[in-house]
Structure 1
């Protein structure tokens, strides 16, 4: 979603509950407050589903305020006298925020699922190129590693010897990173940015040199493992083409 689209959704998330509550107030004789509350919950669900987490939270806050203003005594005032009305307003706000969090979690899971599918496709493509002995496999794997880890740069050096530069950070086969014998907490510190990160391509196959210096990158463990798996395809390609 574009920034303009997010802004539009957030504005609608604030305005829609007041419109719905105003209409419900006009129909107060035939529409109970509980029914109006359910409609407001639907508005929050729609905002959270079509927008982002902030849109859902704004809709929840606006729904609670609109319910208070149009549907509780005294009407057209943000004061609440009845205990049941207070409980309903609080429940409406709580449900709205909860729905927003659930919708946000669902979107994250969908994105993660899509990324995993892309990773698997990338590994399969690299494996196929390696099996075919394609001369483009080194460049393809280099580009894939850079995309998976969102690097500033990644280059393949067929003459580099793994471990020849002791101070250089190393991405190991298990997905961990160490530097000078100490493990790097990637989730907290991010990828080392003061030097290139060494990723061995396999036995006598050189190294991939990874650069992540312009900003802090915190790839997930599975992303690091995908990068390692991609790098390990190169020796197979070299043996096939030899």
Structure 2
């Protein structure tokens, strides 16, 4: 089986699942309130969202809305809706399904980012043991922040550079800014002091607003080069 097979199966399930459930509910539609049937389809969307990505969620939402319309609203076996209440339930189904997908995507993104930061910090422990080069650590700091590039530089940061004094504090031109709130400067290098030199990061190509734990991890990572 190819690496792409699970994704194909999941996307197929995202479409076929709501259709099958709606078709089954259509057999007892006279016993169900439309809102109750819609809630069952919401559960299907939740299952897909927990196992898939935003594409699978989108397909599940669309398939659920169309299936609800086709199997569970009057006139049956038609994409027309005559009852205003059914229209409202359909709209609510789409909105709730989309919200579920957004929350699920956000949670997975946070988990993935936390895993990456954990891996970097684990490797940072090797720096003190001579396991990683300064150049590699500098590159990892940049990757961790989503910046353009990171390099190790001997000596002191230059005038005009933004110097990291703490994870939530940058000193730039005698003023202090919080990168978590305002983002990393795009018109100056960001410098993480580390003993006889510093890690210099560039974020000129786009606006980056790192999370506090990203800044903490980057600071810890760079600090391993002290000494």
TM-score w.r.t. length of structure 1: 0.69
Deviations 1:16-54 (Å, cap 9, x if unpaired)?
4345424543x3489756785455234312321232245
* Structure 1 residue 151: Cα displacement: 3.3
Contact 2:81/2:87, CA 8 A, preserved across alignment: no
Query: What is residue 48 of structure 1 aligned with on the other side?
Result: 49
Query: What is residue 139 of structure 1 aligned with on the other side?
Result: 135
> Counterparts of 2:104 and 2:193 in 1: how far apart (Å)?
40
Q: Following superposition, which runs of at least 4 residues in structure 1 exceed 6 angstroms of deviation? A: 2-8
Query: What is residue 239 of structure 1 aligned with on the other side?
Result: none
* Structure with greater strand percent: 2
Deviations 1:67-126 (Å, cap 9, x if unpaired)?
23222222134224385x567546644553443244224313422431342243133222
> Counterparts of 1:98 and 1:90 in 2: how far apart (Å)?
12
> Counterparts of 1:117 and 1:17 in 2: how far apart (Å)?
37
Q: Which runs of 5+ in 1 are unaligned?
A: 237-242
Query: What is residue 151 of structure 2 aligned with on the other side?
Result: 155
Instruction: Report the structure number with the largest CA radius of gyration.
Output: 1
Relative to structure 1, the CA distance from residue 138 to residue 97 in structure 2 (aligned partners, 3 Å threshold; closer, same or farther) is: closer
Q: Which runs of 5+ in 2 are unaligned?
A: none
SS of residue in 2 equivalent to 1:234: coil
- Aligned alpha-carbon RMSD (Å): 3.7
2:205 pairs with one of 201, 211, 214: 214
Q: How many equivalent pairs are there?
A: 223
